Amino acid sequence: MRRLEGKTALVTGASRGVGALVAEALAREGASLWLHARTVANCAQTLARVKALGATAQVVEGELDDPAQVESLGAVVLAAGGVDILYNNAGVMAQWSPSGLHAREEWVRNLQINFLAPMRLCELLVPGMRERGWGRVVNVTTGMEKQLELVPYSAAKAALDKYTSELAHAAIADGVVVNLLDPGWLRTDLGGPNAPNAPDSVLPGALVPVLFGNDGPFGTLVRAQEHAQG
């Protein structure tokens, strides 16, 4: 049985890495997909793979460091009827600073992409879920700590964590279950080649918060590596 038949999902950062893996997993469960990438061309391979799995899918483009493009992205999805599942996966890593000091521009970039963009997509798309009485939101966070050299990244994710908790408690009464996912340290473009975990170890854990029932859990942190197989 395909557990997400009839549901529509938006996955940000779906061109590669965790986003592409999540998109394929959602397709296998029967979901229709909006695949976000910086450009339509960047997402061509993911689009082909999910269509090969039988999913209805299309790509929506947008640079998440540009608030106007975040608004446009959300408007395109809303105009088509919104989504049932919002998977805020896209993110960027901070530039390493041995001194622990970071330029203002680096703070702004990390806060915009890693916090303000996913928060704004929640603001745009969750109201429709609440009106329909069903929705799932997964905001991808991090287990990083004690890394002053990368603190703009972890600080932006901490803001996302707090926002997710507040949204989760507000939305649960309307059947919208909101949670965080820590994918673990993966050998992706973001995680780098020295990470201990293969990208596909994020599954099946990455789907766990999507498949929770309407009573939750909500506002919690799901650690994908705790569900890794093999």
pLDDT digits (tens, 9 = 90+) for 215-230: 999 999 999 999 998 6
The predicted pLDDT at position 192 comes to: 81
Catalytic residue among 34, 87, 115, 153: 153
- Please tell me the number of Cα atoms within 13 Å of 2 on its side-chain side: 16
The predicted pLDDT at position 163 comes to: 98
The predicted pLDDT at position 230 comes to: 61
Please give the angle made by the CA atoms of 177, 127 and 81, to the nearest 5 degrees.
105
Q: Give the other-Cβ count within 10 Å of 47's Cβ.
A: 21
Rounded-to-integer distance, Cα 211 and Cα 134, Å: 12
C-alpha torsion sign, points 152, 34, 58, 77: negative
Q: What tokens does 153 get?
A: 């990244």
Is the predicted pLDDT of residue 175 greater than 80, yes or no? yes
- Please tell me the number of Cα atoms within 13 Å of 180 on its side-chain side: 22
The predicted pLDDT at position 164 comes to: 98
Q: What tokens does 43 get?
A: 């997402």
Place of tokens 């603001």: 123
Q: Is 163 a catalytic residue?
A: no
Is the predicted pLDDT of residue 198 greater than 90, yes or no? no
**Confidence band of 190 (pLDDT split at 50, 70, 90):** confident
HEC letters along 93-150 = CCCCCCCCCCCHHHHHHHHHHHHHHHHHHHHHHHHHHHHHCCEEEEEECCCCCCCHHH
Is the predicted pLDDT of residue 121 greater than 70, yes or no? yes
The predicted pLDDT at position 195 comes to: 80
* CATH fourth-level superfamily of 8-227: NAD(P)-binding Rossmann-like Domain (3.40.50.720)
- Rounded average pLDDT over 144-162: 96
**176 DSSP assignment:** E
Is the predicted pLDDT of residue 141 greater than 80, yes or no? yes
- Rounded average pLDDT over 96-114: 97
Is the predicted pLDDT of residue 77 greater than 70, yes or no? yes
Each residue of 9-45: pLDDT tens digit?
A: 999 999 999 999 999 999 999 999 999 999 999 999 9
Average pLDDT, the chain: 96
Share of the chain above pLDDT 70, in %: 100
* Phi-psi region at 134: left, alpha or beta (left = phi > 0; alpha = psi -120 to 50): beta
